[in-house]
Chain A
Amino acid sequence: MTMFHFFNCAILAFGPHAVYYSATPLSEYDTLGTSVKAALVYLGTALVKLVCLATFLQVSENDGFDPYQELLKALIGFIDVAGLYFALTQLTHRNISQNHKFQAVGLGWAFADSVLHRLAPLWVGARGLEFTWDYILQGLEANANLVLSISLAALGSLIWLRKNKPKTLIPIIYACAGIVATMPSITSYLRRGLGWHFPKVVGFELFTSLVMAFISWQLFSACQRPYV
């Protein structure tokens, strides 16, 4: 029964990535290579972040919200953005349209994040006899993360790959990108500073991810329309 539960949580956490890949035209254009490369870039970024965190951060005894530490964590979080930039611009992709490029990069990024952050806790925890809702919530969080990563990749591609953008939309694009990039800090503030429980935090993440996805979709299609 408990392996069953692990299997359930695993397909919740990793299933949507596979479904996304097979459902959208990504599979038709064989963009797997791009996703894999993006995953590797995420791995490298995670290692760099780990080293920086270990060097600069102090471990606090209580679980409270320390603004200075959180600021430091947010700054280190921007290494994420740098990694995404690297994946979008520097890697050589085969001839795939920009539309598909950001999706593939975002997908690979989210999959690597999900595996690295959730596979080990799921394997160790979900197989035990004791039942908690935590692992299902972690799977939902992985889903929200997928949507957020794809939106961030979309906004990133708008910022760096598309040269001609309508002037009015540029600040909005940057603002949205900023919000999405600082999502980790926002969630940790909610959890520690305001003391929200895990289900509430996951609900908030799902909601904001859908909202941001919708906004970035609108921005993307607005930039694609040939304008006068």
Chain B
Amino acid sequence: MANSKKPGGLREMLESMYSVIALLFILVACVELCDAAAAFDVYRLIQYDMSGSPFGSRFAALNHHAASLHFPPGVDLSRTVLIIPLRELNITFVREYINQKKPLGGLLVLLPEVLSFKTGGNNQVHEKEKMKNLLAELERLLIHSNIPYPVYFAFENDEIDTALADIKKNDLMGQPATATTGGYKFVIPTAEPKKVASPTMTNIQGWLSGLKTDGDANQLPTIAIVASYDTFGAAPALSVGSDSNGSGIVALLEISRLFSLLYSNPKTRGRYNLLFGLTSGGPYNYNGTQKWLRSFDQRLRESIDYAICLNSIGSWDNELWIHVSKPPENAYIKQIFEGLSNVAEELDLKVGLKHKKINISNPRVAWEHEQFSRLRVTAATLSELSVTPELLESTGGLFDTRQYVNETAIVRGVKLVAESLARHIYGHQGKNIQIFADESSLAVNPAYIRSWLDVLSQTPRVAPFLSKDDPFVMALKKELAGHVDEVNVQHETLEGIFTFYDSTSARLNIYQVASVTFDLLLLLVLGSYLIVLFSFLVITTRGLDDLISLFRRPPSRKLKTA
């Protein structure tokens, strides 16, 4: 009995060993460590369709060799990634490449590190204007082209600088990287970009009630202050829009804070309701504002005295513009303009009036106040921009970073709007009374503005990529709720002519690869080494005759037996 158990037990042990060995083989075959020389974040060019026409970069995955701008002329680049640092960027070169549809494996634009909101910090930008113009032009070119290869943006760092220097050296020697000559390989392993299904726009509104006395039968008049908070840019993961429209959001929050202080005490509460609106869908013809206004009760809409829209008030020196769509002779427009100019004079700055007629049949809405005017509500936009922006322009692009915004400008803008609003509400027009004087308890708080501006300058806010319960939108809602009586959030779908695709950022791996010819040569060398070793050992241990006899055929058996 003991004997029969033994072989059975042995067999079981062997079987378990086999399974362990099999598992080991599978495990070993699956081990694929990432051993890149360098890996860092890259941000993709936006991909969108407008009325069915494709724009932007249509691909995301990348697996090609890298070349710099010094590539030998006439070489085929359809399987190469071109790396261009911003300071060497020549717009005409890029425009020529894109417009003539020259084949390219991919494009990587290196932005100076100072523009990064993660590591750039608050360092000063050299040659601000030049960089701003270059970036604006590049962005305009890329957004309105259909590019059939991946385009990525990255910030310069030490690793990619050394890699680029190496690549340049190789290119100058006339050896562009291919599979047979080695070099650097750039790999971005990411899936195909998919459409963003039903992108949401979230409008946040805050309501501050005015003082209703018993004698008031009708509803109190309302004044609306609106700013759109979302952005659009060439690289959606980098579109922080500090000026367009981070400055507007910050100003709106500060104004709401000041008026909440005033309205908290019934003795100082004004006889106007205040409606604060943080709207989405700004770059897309203010679609969100339109939907928000359409959702209003008829009575509420009629009770709005006027609306002030804030758009880009962060980098101006001495002049602001008020854009209106009703003619300047209109009594209400005159009232608004006079109120603002009086305060402006005291604050030692200028405001100008710009009138642009609305064309009802044209779907293009360039300013937020136009959406109000289309519903017959008096409105004006306060902005530093004097020229009407084109579609998808001035919406928070690559150059719109923290360094280009001046918080003192925002402070002055807040003072201007708040004072003129207060004078209208409390009936102090024309009188020289400073309600929000400096050093008072109602002074504009620069620290509040600065901290919110810093937060906004680190949050990319492209609407299709903000989910319904995005933490930033919730934070805005919470902040506004702290200053007003009632907050409402409205979710709408971003329909219309725009369709967006996801995959806005990825991880780039740089590998330094050896060519196939190198490995073939290595095989040759090793083969000859082993052969030499073999012959050496045979000669030293068995003698030269043995070596020769290995190559001679053994004497035929037939001959022997014969």
Interface, chain A (partner B; CB < 8 A): 1, 4-5, 7-8, 11-12, 15-16, 19-20, 22-25, 123-125, 127-131, 136
Contact = CB atoms under 8 A, between A and B. Distances in A.
A12 B512 CA distance: 22
A1 B538 CA distance: 33
Interface string B221-244: 000000000000000000000000
A130 B530 contact: no
Contacts, number: 72
B97 interface: no
A19 to B, nearest CB: 5
A160 B179 CA distance: 56
A128 B526 contact: no
Is chain A's interface secondary structure helix, strand, loop, or mixed overall? helix
Contacts of B2: none
Contact of B533 (A16, A25, A127, A131): A16
B426 interface: no
B469 interface: no
Contacts of B541: 23-25
A209 to B, nearest CB: 14
B187 A129 contact: yes
B33 interface: yes
B28 A23 contact: no
Interface stretch (B43-51, B162-170, B472-480, B515-523): B515-523
Contacts of B497: none
A147 to B, nearest CB: 11
B523 A1 contact: no
Interface in B502-553: 511-514, 516, 519, 522-523, 526, 530, 533-538, 541-542
A124 B542 contact: no
A129 B185 contact: yes
11 contacts: A1-B513, A5-B522, A15-B530, A16-B530, A25-B541, A129-B35, A130-B36, A130-B512, A131-B512, A131-B514, A136-B522
A12 B530 CA distance: 8
Contact of A4 (B185, B519, B537): B519
Nearest to B537: A23
| Interchain residue pairs A-B with the least CB separation, the first 5 | A23-B537, A131-B514, A129-B511, A128-B35, A24-B541
Nearest to A131: B514
Contacts of B534: 19, 22-23
B75 interface: no
B455 interface: no
Nearest to A125: B35
Contact of A1 (B512, B519, B535): B519
Contacts of B217: none
A48 B414 CA distance: 77
Contacts of A23: 533-538, 541
Given A4-B519, A123-B28, A19 B513 contact: no
A124 B33 contact: yes
Interface string B174-186: 0000010010010
B37 interface: yes
Contact of B513 (A4, A12, A127, A131): A131
A19 B185 contact: no
Contacts of A125: 33, 35
